[in-house]
Amino acid sequence: MTMKASTARQLTLALAALAALAATPLAQARDKVSLLPLEEAVRLGIQEGKLDGSVKFYLSGAPTPPGQGAALGEEHVNRRTSNGGKEPVFACHWAALSGLIALQDSAKARGANAVVDLHSFFKEKTFKDPVNFECYTGNMMTGVTLKGTYVRTAP
């Protein structure tokens, strides 16, 4: 075998190995679903100063305050965070908190002080629970999608 043929063969083998390694994460990229209490993400947001408490969040099926006015619109938010250096549960809470911040800001802009019927809406599949939200963790990213309705409640 000539030196040129040997180098070409090594290059071909190296490229084949690289292609196999590149395909491996795709095969393992299945999302892991976690159910976590929304209250923990809210608590994190208040502790970090990201949520100010002026907008309350009520998951679907949870008791809502009396005196709820007309709906002021509906919205869904999809937030992701990198998994790099984060524990999976913290990454889930961080992604949820990012969504809650967006909902809080939008609620204030609409004159609402609550988001009701809040539920997970990942890949357009609804998950309703009075305590928990769904979080999806892949190899590199963690994601949370929340959908809710803005309302103004009696003080």
Q: 144 falls in which pLDDT band (50, 70, 90)?
A: very high
E strands, the chain, are 32-37, 56-59, 71-82, 114-122, 125-127, 132-137, 141-151
Q: 55 falls in which pLDDT band (50, 70, 90)?
A: very high
Mean pLDDT of all residues in the chain? 86
pTM more than 0.75 = yes
**148, 68 contact by CB (below 8 A):** no
| 150 pLDDT higher than 60 | yes
Token code pair at residue 125: 């599949």
Instruction: Give the strand pairing for 114-122 and 141-151.
Output: antiparallel
pLDDT of 4? 61
DSSP H or E segment with residue 6:
helix 3-27
Task: List Cα–Cα distances, 146 to 7, 44, 109, in angstroms.
Answer: 54, 17, 18
C-alpha to C-alpha distance for 98 and 82, rounded to whole angstroms: 13
> pLDDT tens-digit profile of 78-87?
999 998 888 9
